[in-house]
Amino acid sequence: MKIAELISGYEKFKDTKFKKYENKFLDLVENGQKPKVLFIACSDSRVDPSLITSSAPGELFVLRNIGNFVPPFAPDNDYHATAAGIEYATSVLEVTDIIICGHSHCGAIETMYTKITDINLLHVKKWLELGLGAKNYVSQKLSCDVGHEERLELTEKISVLFQLKNLLTYPDVERRVNEGELFLRAWYYRLDTGDLEYFNTESGEYELMIGG
Ligand SMILES: [Zn+2]
pLDDT number for residue 76 = 81
Q: Is a pLDDT exceeding 60 seen at residue 212? A: no
Kindly state whether residues 86 and 176 are assigned to the same domain. Answer: yes
Question: Residue 29 Cα, ligand 1 centroid: separation in angstroms?
Answer: 32
Chain segment 146-162, per-residue pLDDT in tens: 899 999 999 999 999 99
- Average pLDDT over all residues of the chain: 96
Q: How many A from CA of 77 to the centre of ligand 1?
A: 24
CA of 95 to the centre of ligand 1 (A): 24
Cα–Cα distance for residue pair 89/146, rounded to 1 Å: 39
Give per-residue pLDDT as tens, 77-133.
688 999 999 999 999 999 999 999 999 999 999 999 999 999 999 999 999 999 999
CATH number at residue 163: 3.40.1050.10
Please check whether residues 23 and 115 belong to one and the same domain.
Answer: no
The verdict on 25 and 61 lying in the same domain is no
- Do 25 and 94 lie in one domain? The reply is no
CA 121 to ligand 1 centroid distance, Å = 16
The per-residue pLDDT for 144 is: 84
pLDDT per position as a tens digit, 59-75: 999 999 999 999 999 98
pLDDT at 1 over 80: no
Per-residue confidence (pLDDT) for residue 78, from 0 to 100: 80
CA 104 – ligand 1 centroid, Å: 8
- State pLDDT tens for residues 46-59: 999 999 999 999 99
Report the domain count for the chain. 2
Query: Distance, CA 188 to ligand 1 centroid (Å)?
Result: 11
Q: Assess whether 13 and 85 both reside in one domain.
A: no
26 and 122 fall within a common domain: no
> Same structural domain for residues 12 and 50?
no
**Domain that includes residue 6, residue range:** 1-31
Question: Model pTM?
Answer: 0.96
